[in-house]
Structure 1
Amino acid sequence: MAEKKTRTTPGEFIRQVRTESSKVVWPTRQETITTAIFVGIMMVILSLFFLGIDSLFGALVGWLLTLA
């Protein structure tokens, strides 16, 4: 038989949240800037890649439609 769970009081919940949030390690300003730059560069690279793939498939479908 399953054990009955005890309810947590709002005060205990707030204490648990404070305890857990004190364990969070926030990134430094430099880490945040570096990550943002990396994300921006990857976004540009991937958008160009998918533009190329989309253009290639668009041209391929257009060519196939001319054969029909």
Structure 2
Amino acid sequence: MAKVSPLQFIQQVRTEVGKVHWPTRREVMLTTLMVFIMAALTATFFSLVDLAIRFGLTTIVAGVGG
């Protein structure tokens, strides 16, 4: 790998940063909202699965012991 001076490195970094597509405020807000919605849906789903498994196991154990 070729060695470059610190000044050249900084110039290259500034050039690359200029190529980055920075999201708009609206895009950030929408994607953040989507993350929160998906997290809530996932939490709800796994809570329901947990309740179903608990109910099934309770029914099995009560049936065996009773």
TM-score by length of 2: 0.73
Q: Give the Cα–Cα distance (whole angstroms) in 2 for the partners of residues 13 and 29 of structure 1.
A: 30
Match for residue 56 of structure 2? 60
Query: What are the Cα deviations for residues 11-68 of structure 1, in whole angstroms up to 9, with x where unaligned?
Result: 3332222111111111111111111111111111111001111111122223333326
Q: Cα–Cα, structure 1 residues 63 and 12, in superposed 2: closer, same or farther, change >3 Å? A: farther
Counting matched residue pairs gives 64
Q: Give the Cα–Cα distance (whole angstroms) in 1 for the partners of residues 25 and 59 of structure 2.
A: 51
Structure 1 gap ranges (5+): none
Q: Give the Cα–Cα distance (whole angstroms) in 1 for the partners of residues 51 and 24 of structure 2.
A: 40
Aligned-pair identity (%)? 34
Structure 2 gap ranges (5+): none
Structure with the higher helix share, 1 or 2: 2
Q: Give the Cα–Cα distance (whole angstroms) in 2 for the partners of residues 38 and 29 of structure 1.
A: 14
TM-score by length of 1: 0.71
